[in-house]
A and B are shown apart, each in its own frame.
Chain A
Amino acid sequence: MRLLLMALIIAMAAGLAYAILSLPAESAGLSVYTTENIAISGVTNPVTAVLLNYRAYDTFLELGVLLLALLGVWSLGSTATASQRPSAPGPVLDNLARVLVPILIVVAGYLFWAGAYIPGGAFQAGAVLGAAGVLLILAGWRINHRLVGLPLRISLVLGLVVFAVVGTLFMLTDRQFLEFPPQYAGVLILLIEGLATLSIGIALAALFLGADPEEDDN
């Protein structure tokens, strides 16, 4: 069985390699279109333009995927066992967290801002923010129980909802869903990205935490 398996996988790899090598050595893909329209996309970084304007619908759904994963994790209930509960952090971790978290938040802010013209953007910034959250959780910090319910949930869905609401608003003015007027595109993308960064960061940290903190409290 093992041998057959290896043979099959090697055959597959060889076939794929052959297929890739048979591709033309030059191909502009869609880069012609992207550069043509970059001026009216609201940003100068082409990747951000694709993510948040040309193919913004993909990004919108993908925020949905992230939220859905969190819903899925929360629906599984608590998995925490005694060994997983972090004991009191050592002094090194504690101090590191105190230093690093502010730096990470600043870095996230920079990444989010820079995304408009150089590599960077909401997901990168969100990931850094998420890392800050993870560090805080490891250091024993827990979210205030008053914020655990609706406020936490609202912050989680904020990116998705604002994305959808902005997209829908322009539907009312004879445009398609997510069709930004060029003159406002830059501002709108910034607004969406900002809130998305926040939601993504919180969602990633929440994913790390596992169960719904509201249920954990009970």
Chain B
Amino acid sequence: MNLIFDTHWVMMLILLPLFGAVACFLWSRQAVTLGLITAVSVLLSVIALTLQVLEQGTLRYAVGGWGAPLGIDLYVDGLSLLMLIVTAVVGVAISVYSSAYFKPGKAKHYWPLWMFLWAALNSLFLSADIFNLYVTLELMGLAAVALVALSGSASALAAAMRYLLISLLGSLFYLMGVALLYHAYGTVDIALLAQQVESSPAVWAAIGLMVTGLLLKIALFPLHFWLPAAHSSAPAPVSALLSALVVKASFYILLRLWLDVFPEANLALSYLLGLLGASAIIWGGIQALYQTRLKLLIAYSTVMQIGYLFLAFPLASIIGWKAVFYLLLSHAIAKTAMFMAAGNILFYGGHDQIADLDRVAQRLPITLTAFGLAGISLMGLPPSGGFIAKWLLLEAIILSGQWWWAIILIAGGLLTGAYVFKVIGFAFTQAEVPHEPRMVPKRMEWVTLTVAVLAIMLGFMAPQLLALMDLGAPFGETMS
């Protein structure tokens, strides 16, 4: 047991994927094996860290032994732990999926980049230092851009270029905010800033810059313009990573700052964010409905689901935060399954025109089942994880008395239902253009189904997950 409680699992989570990346880079012929070994070991480390944290409570780790404000601190509470867990789960699934998806020529580039992305995500979720967050944000952004460009097509390259510029722009806005905060308070540690921050021009400017920079990276409507192209032109496992994790990482930073650093909740601003979220739900849903390509449809669905995450801001209640966080987790898993399913379909038919799906249902039944199950979670039908999240959100809405958000919630659910059924409907029909199918590796299909079932299973894990979220009270103390 000592092994579990005494090892520095926090650092292992960052170092393991980093060493994995280096190993995949050095011995690119064995990249797949090395990558899978790393993936499994990261998952085991996350489990160990969870046990450690459950036993010893929240964890603050002073890298270099200096401690804030001089050094950099890492911090683990329920929020970061769950992000790490969902990253590990999605990560392992994606690793297994990509081990069959990429041809050797691409695989040798893919694996080190993906391992780097994983390291970036883990270090981002662990960091308690706003400048360190900037570095991890850039690490994540560059890895994501390189992964988008991996397919090498003209559209992918253009999307990657645009994504890179946007990502850098967002980061610079964020960094300017960091500069102002540092020079105003002489520290970049989140906990120390939280104690000192008060209303002043520098703080207003800093928050304005940081929030907008992050919104750009999160792709909240109307700043979503870069997302559909980037997420739809990347290779399928990469799309899954981007939608499930990368966008969420920026949201995680925003959530952390909002809950800890920013001085007293600003009502008008939170309403603005809620309003943008609501518009994102409607706009994203309608656009998704009109798409003719499957991956674009799923990408717009991400635009829409991002909107849900912002509904908690005007509610400003613990249960509201928990609801959107739950939604974030279940969306991450469901969206992974959905993009994997789209990847299978693309792999099989060589295209993803929805109208020409050509009886995929009969030929790839496992994939289509997975797509349907993921769709159930996105729609928020019982008993999926999405249902629990929307239920909690509804409860928060009722408690706050702001019933108009409930209308958005329901409209969003109906829109999701509509576009999911649209895809499933076409999956049964015969296409006019015959095409030569390519066999999909069994491994890819089964991983997709497993992840989709997991998205449903999330609905049954509510008590445990909600209890984990309470660790360290990231959303504030519960009144009880």
Binding site for B on A (CB under 8 A): 15-16, 18-20, 22-24, 27-30, 33-34, 37, 53-58, 61-62, 64-65, 67-69, 71-72, 74-77, 150, 153-154, 157, 160-161, 164, 168, 171, 175-180
Contact of A57 among B72, B150, B187 (CB under 8 A): B72
Contact check, B201 vs A22: say whether CB atoms are below 8 A apart.
yes
Given known pairs A77-B152, A164-B18, A171-B8, the reply for A176 and B139 (CB within 8 Å) is no
Contact of A55 among B8, B72, B119, B180 (CB under 8 A): B72
**Which chain A residue has the least Cβ–Cβ distance from B208?**
A15
Does B470 sit within 8 A of A, measured CB to CB? no
Which residues of A are found within 8 Å of B184, using beta-carbon distances? 23-24
Contact of B180 among A20, A34, A150, A160 (CB under 8 A): A20
Contact check, A75 vs B202: say whether CB atoms are below 8 A apart.
no
What separation, in Å, do the CA atoms of A75 and B316 have in the docked complex? 44
Contact check, B202 vs A160: say whether CB atoms are below 8 A apart.
no
A200 → chain B closest CB, angstroms: 16
B260 → chain A closest CB, angstroms: 20
Contact check, B69 vs A30: say whether CB atoms are below 8 A apart.
yes
Contact check, B64 vs A57: say whether CB atoms are below 8 A apart.
yes
**Which chain A residue has the least Cβ–Cβ distance from B8?**
A171
**Which chain B residue has the least Cβ–Cβ distance from A212?**
B109
Contact check, B176 vs A65: say whether CB atoms are below 8 A apart.
no
Contact check, B22 vs A178: say whether CB atoms are below 8 A apart.
no
Contact check, B204 vs A19: say whether CB atoms are below 8 A apart.
yes
**Which chain B residue has the least Cβ–Cβ distance from A175?**
B65
A88 → chain B closest CB, angstroms: 32
What separation, in Å, do the CA atoms of A144 and B141 have in the docked complex? 33
Which residues of A are found within 8 Å of B64, using beta-carbon distances? 53-57, 176-180
A sample of 19 cross-chain residue pairs with beta-carbon separation below 8 angstroms, ordered by A number, consists of A15-B208, A19-B206, A22-B202, A23-B180, A37-B70, A55-B64, A57-B63, A57-B72, A57-B132, A58-B135, A62-B135, A68-B116, A71-B25, A71-B116, A72-B142, A153-B25, A157-B26, A160-B18, A164-B19
Binding site for A on B (CB under 8 A): 8, 11, 15, 18-19, 21-22, 25-26, 61-66, 69-72, 109-110, 112-113, 116, 119, 123, 131-132, 135-136, 138-139, 142-143, 145-146, 149-150, 152, 176, 180, 182-184, 186-187, 200-202, 204-206, 208
B29 → chain A closest CB, angstroms: 11
Contact of B202 among A19, A62, A157, A168 (CB under 8 A): A19
Given known pairs A58-B72, A157-B22, A157-B26, the reply for A75 and B65 (CB within 8 Å) is no
What separation, in Å, do the CA atoms of A34 and B205 have in the docked complex? 28
B269 → chain A closest CB, angstroms: 16
Contact check, B71 vs A55: say whether CB atoms are below 8 A apart.
yes
What separation, in Å, do the CA atoms of A161 and B18 have in the docked complex? 9
A83 → chain B closest CB, angstroms: 20
What separation, in Å, do the CA atoms of A171 and B123 have in the docked complex? 17
Contact check, A68 vs B143: say whether CB atoms are below 8 A apart.
yes
Contact check, A23 vs B142: say whether CB atoms are below 8 A apart.
no
A137 → chain B closest CB, angstroms: 22
Given known pairs A54-B70, A61-B136, A61-B139, the reply for A72 and B205 (CB within 8 Å) is no
Given known pairs A23-B202, A37-B70, the reply for A176 and B109 (CB within 8 Å) is no
A126 → chain B closest CB, angstroms: 17
Given known pairs A19-B205, A22-B202, A157-B25, the reply for A58 and B132 (CB within 8 Å) is yes
Which residues of A are found within 8 Å of B112, using beta-carbon distances? 71
Given known pairs A61-B132, A176-B8, the reply for A29 and B182 (CB within 8 Å) is yes
Dominant SS at the A interface? helix
Contact check, B11 vs A177: say whether CB atoms are below 8 A apart.
yes
Contact check, A68 vs B139: say whether CB atoms are below 8 A apart.
yes
Contact check, B66 vs A37: say whether CB atoms are below 8 A apart.
yes
**Which chain B residue has the least Cβ–Cβ distance from A157?**
B22
**Which chain A residue has the least Cβ–Cβ distance from B62?**
A176
Contact check, A150 vs B26: say whether CB atoms are below 8 A apart.
yes
* Most chain A beta-carbon neighbours within 10 Å: one of B61, B66, B123, B131: B66
Contact check, A61 vs B135: say whether CB atoms are below 8 A apart.
yes
Which residues of A are found within 8 Å of B25, using beta-carbon distances? 67, 71, 153, 157
Contact of B18 among A18, A37, A56, A64 (CB under 8 A): A64
Which residues of A are found within 8 Å of B180, using beta-carbon distances? 19-20, 23
Which residues of B are found within 8 Å of A168, using beta-carbon distances? 11, 15
Contact check, A71 vs B62: say whether CB atoms are below 8 A apart.
no
Contact check, A160 vs B22: say whether CB atoms are below 8 A apart.
yes
What separation, in Å, do the CA atoms of A16 and B201 have in the docked complex? 9
**Which chain B residue has the least Cβ–Cβ distance from A176?**
B65
Contact of A72 among B135, B146, B152, B202 (CB under 8 A): B146
**Which chain A residue has the least Cβ–Cβ distance from B142?**
A68
A98 → chain B closest CB, angstroms: 33
Contact of B113 among A20, A61, A75, A77 (CB under 8 A): A75
**Which chain A residue has the least Cβ–Cβ distance from B11?**
A177
A203 → chain B closest CB, angstroms: 12
A61 → chain B closest CB, angstroms: 5
What separation, in Å, do the CA atoms of A16 and B145 have in the docked complex? 30
Contact check, A68 vs B146: say whether CB atoms are below 8 A apart.
yes
Contact check, B139 vs A65: say whether CB atoms are below 8 A apart.
yes
Contact check, B138 vs A65: say whether CB atoms are below 8 A apart.
yes
What separation, in Å, do the CA atoms of A77 and B151 have in the docked complex? 11
